[in-house]
Every structure is written in C-alpha cells, then in structure tokens.
Amino acid sequence: MSKKKTKFCCQVCGYETPKWMGKCPGCNEWNTMVEEIELPKSSRRQSFVTSSETIAGTNKPQMITTIQSVSEPRIYTEYKEMDRVLGGGIVPGSLVLIGGDPGIGKSTLLLQISSQLANRNHKVLYISGEESPRQTKLRADRLRIESDNLFVLSETDLAYIEKAIDEMNPSFVVIDSIQTVYHPEVQSAPGSVSQVRECTSHFMRIAKTKGIAIFLVGHVTKEGSIAGPRLLEHMVDAVLYFEGERHHTYRILRAVKNRFGSTNEMGIFEMKEEGLREVLNPSEIFLEERSEGAAGSIVVASMEGTRPVLVEIQALIAPTSFGNPRRMATGIDHNRVSLIMAVLEKRVGFLLGAYDAYLKVAGGIKLDEPAIDLGVAVSIASSFRDQPSNPTDVVFGEVGLTGEIRRVSRVEQRVQEAAKLGFKRVIIPERNIGGWTAPKGIEVIGVSTVAEALDHTLER
C-alpha cells in the first residue's frame, strides 16, 4: 500500500505547505496550520479539471465572434428586493453564497424563497446539515409554508447529497450550510479548508452541468467575513451578505460579488413573527421617527445601487472633557467625519478643536458614497450652532478640501424620491443644475460652497 502524504493547510487563507509553521506566510496569522491528508492527483483532477471541462464544453479555443450569445432566462421570486440584489432574478445554473451572523435569518429567507419557487411549479430541494426534517417542518409551520414541490433532506455526506440531486433533478437546491457538508474521500473534519474547497467544487460542477441554481449558506467569523478559504468566494457566482442587528427588526441584503448584475444593490427586509417581509419603500421607514425642529439633524439622499434612499444623519457636538477630542461615527466612516470637520474649521471658521463629535445614521444603515458629505457638514454645523435645519430640506453633495461642493451622479432620481415623500426643498451642487427637469412642488437650490449651503439650510 502506498504511504499517505500529508500537508499543512491554513484554516484562514488556505495556504499549503509540506511542513508545519507557527505563522502562516499567506495571511500572517498564528497557529492556523492544521495537518491534512493530501488527495491523490487523480481525485484532484476529477474534482477540478472535469468540472472546468464540462463548463467550457470543449478544449479547443474559439474566436469570441463565433460564440453565440444567449440571454440567460431568470427565475423570479415574490421578493422584488431579492431579485434586485441578484441582478434581476435567479440565473439557472448559478452558484450563490449567502453569509451572515448566526440568527440573522439566512435559513428563514431561503426557506421562504424555496416556498415561493415551489408554488410556481419549480421543484426545490432544501438540504439541511444542521436541522432534522422535523425541525425544518416546525419552522415551515411557523412561516405557513405548504407545498408539494418543496422537498427536505437532512444529510451531510456529499455522496448521498449528489445521489439525491441526480434522482430528484430539482431546479433549485439549498445547502444549509456548506461548513457541515463533508467529502468522504477527504480525511479532514467538516468545515476545514480542504472540505469546503472540495465540496464547493462538486456543487459548482453540479450547478453548471445540470443547470440547477444552488444556494450555499456560509458561516461567518468573528471579524464578519465568511468562514473558510478566500477561494470559496472566488468559486461562486455571487456572494451575498445578510446584515443587521439581532435586536432590531430590519435586515439588509447586500451583494459583494455578482457575475450577473451590480454589486451596489441593497435589499431591505423586516423580521416578523411569520417570517421576513420585504420593505418596498425604505425611505419612509428610516424617516418615520424623525423629530422635527431638533438641532443636529438633516435628511440626505443617498444611492444604493439604482435605488435612491432618504436617511437621517444626526450629529451631537459637545465640549470635550479631555485634551484630545473624540470623533465617533456609526454608519459613516469616522475618517470622513474628521476630514469634513477640518474643512468646517478652516473654510467656515468653526472652532471645533475643543469639542467632541458623535454622528449616527438613523436606522442602522451604512453610507459610504461621497454625496453624503454635505449632509454630514450641515448636521455638524447645526449641532455646533444649536440651530435646527429646515425640516422640509434634503441635501446631498460631495465636499472638497477647499470647501467647494462637487457634482454627484443620479441627481434626478434623488430629487424625485424627495418630492415623493413630501419634501419642499432640496440643496444640491450648483454644477448638477441643468439637463433635467425637477418635479412639481419642490424647489431646487444649487450651492457651490459649504458656507453657502449652511446659509440656506440653517434656520435663523
């Protein structure tokens, strides 16, 4: 009998080495090397090369002009939010990875989507490696799910899972979760780098050869990234993150990778007793508890992909008790807050060096586009002067280091969203005026500097 070869594999990044090391050369993490039995070359070739050959269909190079372009039909769900994040619906033969914190609602979301697809005469197989069929049935009863096209299987062995898929031939498969599935030929524990890599490779081959849309649920680490090697995110077609606070009812679904659509889209759901409910107009949700006439509050128009969202930015400027003032922000990069405060101090004359600054985006949403700069500046100035801003104003624009207001994109969609929610005035960069028509009932004011914007927004 041939001697089994072993290797040491990093459980964080997947770096392989023939000898043990205390520190991984790939990711510089300590004590992450675990000994694993190396697969024979024939097994590795069957796992990886066969799948790529099947996907390509031929080994010969082809001219790109001779390849026929075929538009992939989409499978639509009842959740428009989910379809938007996926780029217009589920693509047959796609492999999608969904990650999120424990208890955030990943299994609930996929079980509800499975029920919706099953009600549209699509055969769905829900494979759970963490729950028994009775436990899955209890959750289905709570969600009021009943369909003869939805099948449940509790299995972790990849060989039996592949056999069940071959016999049933579904159009949609859910694997909950990929860290619980193991390859019988890989001599390592489920959830290890080798197991996750081999199992994902097999599911990729199944999805591409049979045209089955497969959703994989992935655990996350304490840092918030999906557990397993980074290779896992490179192999799949789309990576979705399900975010939100466990003690709040709203959940946000974001795409960080999508081969079939944009990665800037965002879907918002609300957790109810009967499951997740999509939020079609998130601007009303984020503004429903806004207190008018309070200093340090302003509404900004932000873009999440192709959707405009109106959110409230709150600021609190208070005298510092220490020599070094604090700069804290929730939902905004604190470095951007420090930058804008420096602009206000240098270009407008605000002496903020002896004040602490606390900023927050109401509703728990995270904003990272430059168009929110003007809203941050107005909220800080409003709290510093203790002057409320006009409650019917919406602002957006990028702030430069010289105090100028720079143009932003998708101005018309932002203004239309503000008009739809009843706002009377919108403050925008002066260079964005022209080339489009403003809706009736809303006044558009163009500003070129931060000082000019503060003169328009702060009440005297």
In contact, 95 and 204? CB cutoff 8 Å: yes
Residue 435 binned pLDDT confidence (cut-offs 50, 70, 90): confident
Cβ neighbours, 10 Å, residue 1: 3
pLDDT at 51: 39
Residue 386 assigned as binding residue: no
pLDDT at 47: 43
Residue 103 assigned as binding residue: yes
Residue 68 binned pLDDT confidence (cut-offs 50, 70, 90): confident
Q: Is the pLDDT of residue 50 over 80?
A: no
pLDDT at 48: 40
Q: Is the pLDDT of residue 103 over 50?
A: yes
Residue 105 assigned as binding residue: yes
52-66, 96-110, 127-141, 329-343: least confidently modelled range = 52-66
In contact, 150 and 115? CB cutoff 8 Å: yes
Residue 400 assigned as binding residue: no
Residue 4 assigned as binding residue: no
Q: Is the pLDDT of residue 169 over 50?
A: yes
Mean pLDDT score of the chain? 87
* Top-confidence residue, 6 or 75: 75
Residue 224 assigned as binding residue: no
What pTM value is reported for the model? Answer: 0.76
In contact, 141 and 115? CB cutoff 8 Å: no
Give the residue-averaged pLDDT of 348-357: 92
In contact, 125 and 165? CB cutoff 8 Å: yes
Give the residue-averaged pLDDT of 170-184: 93
Give the residue-averaged pLDDT of 333-341: 93
Give the residue-averaged pLDDT of 259-276: 87
pLDDT at 128: 94
The residue with tokens 């990778």 is: 257
Give the residue-averaged pLDDT of 138-148: 92
- What pairing do the DSSP bridges indicate for beta strands 213-218 and 172-176? parallel
Domains and CATH numbers, the chain: 9-37 (no CATH), 89-280 (3.40.50.300), 285-457 (3.30.230.10)
